[in-house]
Structure 1
Amino acid sequence: MKILIVYATTHGTTAKAVDLLSRQLENHEVRSVNIKKETPPAPENVEVIIVGGSIHAGRIQGKIKKYLAQYQSVILQKKLGLFICCMEKDHKARDEFEAVYPETLKKHAIAHGCFGGEFLMDKMNFLQRAIIKKISGVDKTVSQIDFEAIQNFAERIKKES
C-alpha cells in the first residue's frame, strides 16, 4: 500500500511524530514530505494520504491548509488520516483539531489524531520563548509527545487500508 504523509513542522516536533508514525507503518510503502522544505507529489498515485502539522496560536501552518484546498477533490477519493501536534490535552486538543480542518475532510478521514507536542526552547526565538512563558508558565524544554496516540492512529490506518 502506498502512503503519503504530508506535514509541516516549525521546531521539529511534527517531524518526530511523523518519523514515529512511519515506523509504525513500516510494512507499507511510506513517503513523508515536509511541505516547508519540498513540494509534495500530487496525491493521485497513493492509496492513503496522511496530513498533519503543528498548532501555534490556534492555527495550523498555511501550507497545510493550501495543500488540502488544492487537492481536496483528489483527497476525498482516497483514504485519509488527519493529525495535529499541540501541547493541549484531551478535549482542548480535540477542539484545536476540530478548528483547523474542514468539516468535509474530518468526516471523510478514517483516522484522526492529536499527537501531543513539545516546547523546544532552544529552537525558539526570544519572542516565542517570552510568549510561551507568559501563556503557559513554561520556561524550559518540555516534551509531551503522545506515543500511544501515534500507535493508535497507525493501527486505524492499517485496519482501514
Structure 2
Amino acid sequence: MKTLIIYGTNYGTAEGVAKTIKGKISDQVEMVNIKKASVPNLNDFNKIVIGSGVKIGMINKKLKSWMNNNCDEIISKKIFLFLCASTTKAEEIEKIWSANYPEKILDNATIKICVGGVLNLDKMGFFDKLIIKKVTGQNESSSTLKIDEILNLASLIEKA
C-alpha cells in the first residue's frame, strides 16, 4: 500500500502529527507540505491522509483549494482527516469541518478527528500574538495535543 499524507501547517503542529503518523505505519508513505511542494499524482496512492492546523477557524488556504479542485479523485481513495486545533468544543470543531472541507470528502472519510493543538506564542508574529491574546486571553504557550488520538489515527490507517 502507498499512503499520501498531505498537510498545511502554520506553526509546525500539523507537520509534527504527519511525521508521527508516518513513523507508525508500515506503508510506503509520501509526505507533502502543500505550502512548500506540489502534490504528486493521486493515482499512485491507495490512502490519503489530509491534515491542517486551524487559524481563526480556517485551515490552510492552499489545502482547501486543492481539496476542492481534486475532490472526485480524493474520494476514490481511503481518506483520513485530522485537524490541529486547540478548541475542545465539539460544536466549534464541527463548524471548522463544515466550513473548510467539501461535503463529499467529509462523507467519504474513514475518520475525521481533531487531535488537539499547540499554541506556541514564540513562533507567532506580533499581530497573531495580539489576536490570540485578545480572543483567548492567553499570554502563554500551551498544548492540548492528544498523542493517544494521533496514535489511534495511525493505527486505523495501518489497518485500512
Secondary structure at 1:31 match in 2: strand
Gaps in structure 2 of 5+ consecutive residues: none
Write the distance in 2 (CA, Å) between the matches of 1:36 and 1:59: 15
Runs of 4+ in 1 over 6 A off after TM superposition: none
Q: Which residue of 1 aligns with 2:14?
A: 14
Q: Which residue of 2 aligns with 1:64?
A: 63
Q: Please show how residues 141-152 of structure 1 align to structure 2 within 5 Å.
A: 141-152=141-152
Quote the offset at 1:90 in angstroms. Answer: 4.4
Write the distance in 2 (CA, Å) between the matches of 1:115 and 1:79: 19
Does the 8 A contact of 1:17 with 1:150 survive in 2?
A: yes
Identical aligned pairs, as a percentage? 31
1:101-126 deviation digits (Å, cap 9, x = unpaired): 11111111112111111111111011
Q: Which residue of 2 aligns with 1:135?
A: 135
Amino acid at match of 2:121: M
Q: Which residue of 2 aligns with 1:86?
A: 85
Write the distance in 2 (CA, Å) between the matches of 1:86 and 1:55: 5
Q: Please show how residues 50-129 of structure 1 align to structure 2 within 5 Å.
A: 50-91=49-90, 92-129=92-129
Secondary structure at 2:36 match in 1: coil
Quote the offset at 1:93 in angstroms. Answer: 2.6
Amino acid at match of 1:103: E
Amino acid at match of 2:38: T
**TM-align CA RMSD:** 1.3
Write the distance in 2 (CA, Å) between the matches of 1:120 and 1:65: 23
Does the 8 A contact of 2:54 with 2:84 survive in 1?
A: yes
The TM-score, its normalising length taken from structure 1, stands at 0.92
Write the distance in 2 (CA, Å) between the matches of 1:127 and 1:95: 24
Does the 8 A contact of 1:83 with 1:97 survive in 2?
A: no
Distance 1:20 1:46, change over 3 A: same
The TM-score, its normalising length taken from structure 2, stands at 0.93
